[in-house]
Amino acid sequence: MSLAGKRILLIIAGGIAAYKSLDLIRRLREQGAGVRPIMTSAAQEFITPLAVGALTASHVYTDLFSREDEQDVGHIRLARDCDLVVVAPATADLMAKIASGLANDLASTVLLASDKPILLIPAMNPVMWANAATQRNVTTLREDGIHFLGPMQGEMAESGEKGVGRMAEPLEILARIDALLSADKPLAGRRAIVTSGPTHEPIDPVRYIANRSSGKQGHAIAAALARLGADVTLVSGPVTIPDPQGVRTIHVERADEMRDAVLGTLPADIAVMVAAVADWRVAASAEQKIKKQPGEPPAPLQLTENPDILKTVGHHEKRPRLVIGFAAETENVELNGKAKLERKGADLILANDVSPETGIMGGDRNSVRLIEAAHTESWPDLSKEEVAERLALWIAARLSGERS
């Protein structure tokens, strides 16, 4: 990674997560980027202009009506004299201003006057993030072409609450900035949803139904799409591998949670449904651990079908332009893949043989067949990272019109 010569306008809004902006500045400058900072009045309650100025080696801009800074219409110069505007942290208040076109302080005025790409790094209480008003603003901003990273799931520094609201880490932000500013980013401006891993459907508090999935392929695809510039949301079931950098990750357990997270992320340009979702769940899971009774047969489990996430997305009114699914098969791989393509309303199915002897489930390699309505293509045995890179390039070519 190198950001040598890149000019970053960093807007720091108020919130306890503002302390992370100091580390972000340090890492940006290590990569050769120049950083020009703007601080809102609320940000100055958490970190000082002195600290920000020392790390950036730059003047810190704080006041829209500064006689010194505005002699040459400074807010317009700030808005245009950069390669990328980064808002970290981006608060609910500032996002509401941007979405509404308000400009009553230096930060909001610069954002309204900028013709450069804008990357928002939200950070707030989980309830604030989930609030309908915030989500309406996020939808508006995404539709306006503004890029997002996060918020992430975790524990909040100020309250100890857990949920989606934590600011992305500086290294994650750095990777996203690099993706946006690198020259060859054919998916820049595209939004992608990827699902990954298994789902766990509870039988009782200690037992569950699941599929054998490590999440390696789905996570690799999310990372590959992000490297090509896409704004990626990864909806992950329970896995033991780390979240990919530069990607917003939503963690879920059950199939219905995964469906709700996916639908909540629409609209999007790309949907890649990789997750090995359990087909069935127990109709009514037990509140207490089910005990074995001596001499008695096991209690029967009444199963009910889980939501079909790929089919739901493939036929949704907000259907992405490109819907891709995976078919994990143990026999008749191509035949079953073609049937799934039509049944689910997908544009492409990646079918693979997951028989135990292949080692694909949980392993590091994969061998897939790309199945379209009028064409089938077999790829050789590849690492899951190589499959992800090839698929990301395939997607970029399809969306650019280079493939029929």
Enumerate helices (H) and strands (E) in the chain, giving the number of each. Answer: 13, 21
318 marked among binding-site residues: no
353 marked among binding-site residues: no
The count of C-alpha atoms lying within 13 angstroms of the C-alpha of 245, restricted to the half-sphere facing its C-beta, is 12
307 marked among binding-site residues: yes
Largest CA distance in the chain: 89
Residue 211 is a catalytic residue: yes
Task: List CB contacts of 393: < 8 A, sequence separation 6 or more.
Answer: 228
How far apart are alpha carbons 242 and 231 in whole angstroms?
A: 19
121 marked among binding-site residues: no
The answer to whether residues 161 and 126 touch, using CB atoms and an 8 Å cutoff, is yes
118 marked among binding-site residues: no
Quick one: which H or E segment has residue 233?
Answer: strand 231-236
Task: List CB contacts of 287: < 8 A, sequence separation 6 or more.
Answer: 204, 205
309 marked among binding-site residues: yes
The answer to whether residues 278 and 209 touch, using CB atoms and an 8 Å cutoff, is yes
93 marked among binding-site residues: no
Token pair 């917003």 in the structure block, residue: 248
Query: Residue 167, exposed/middle/buried by CB under 10 A (0-12, 13-18, 19+)?
Result: buried
Cis peptide before 294 (omega within 30 of 0): no
* Annotated catalytic residue, options 104, 131, 137, 211: 211
335 marked among binding-site residues: no
Sign of the four-CA dihedral 183, 147, 91, 256:
negative
216 marked among binding-site residues: no
As a residue count, the chain comes to 404
β-pair type (201-204, 191-196): unpaired
Q: Where is the binding site for CTP, in residues? A: 279, 289, 307-310, 326, 340, 344
User: Which amino acids are annotated catalytic?
Assistant: 211
